[in-house]
Amino acid sequence: MKITICNISYTIKTKNNNNQSNLLSNLFQIKEKINRTLSFRSGCKSGVCGSCAVRVNGVEKLACKTTIKEGDIIEPLNYSIVIKDLIIDKKNQNDFLIKTKAYLEKKTNTLITQEDEKKIDTESNCILCNSCLSACPVYSINEKFLAPYALLRNFRYVEDAKEGEIQTKLEAIQTNGIWDCTLCGNCNMVCPSIINIKGSIENLRNKSAQFGYNNPNMNSGFDTSFGFNPNGF
């Protein structure tokens, strides 16, 4: 089976009759037997750590959870500095999380119930794989746009019953944030944790309205709330 990784073609052996195989296993096979300089990230090998995210035929995937076939093209994630081969620089990740105040800012003494935990359970499953950012058409034209995963994490703490400082978190995402999102849903389609990122951003818009914030695009005559998808699907 032939696949292409970072514009280099490799011929690999598969162990099954349908000529398909796990991508991460093949990356290790290539590094051990064909090209020792091939560089990529991997961690848990179980789809939990998010470190092995790449693009397969232009779609963001976790290498450890992806089955490849003849002719597949493997590339690094979009919109990031490539350190080497499939390894990207994630130094801006913490910057986005800090800018969106995606952390517990002011802990209250509120008694937490199981219902409170369920409200943020799904959002807490974000593995920071950067797939949503790589698939985001807004970030492709605005590098100041707060990453989808950062907005998701912001919502997780806005909804956290222990958080006593919601106002500042909402303030942090008004510019280059929730109102700039086109709600295209690309982030949802590539999220390996199956999190409704788009829905979380919509909820942040509703929450912002409750706190007196308005969509600045409405004043300019351009409303991004209708879910325009620049990719046409």
Q: How far apart are CA 197 and CA 183, in angstroms?
A: 9
**Residue 230 pLDDT greater than 90, yes or no:** no
Instruction: Give pLDDT tens digits for 97-150.
Output: 999 999 999 999 989 999 999 999 999 999 999 999 999 999 999 999 999 999
Distance separating alpha carbons of residues 56 and 71, to the nearest angstrom = 10
Q: Which domains does the chain have, with CATH numbers?
A: 2-88 (3.10.20.30), 92-226 (1.10.1060.10)
CA dihedral 229, 47, 65, 56 (to 10 degrees): 40
Percent of the chain with pLDDT over 90: 88
Residue with the larger pLDDT of the pair 32 and 14:
32
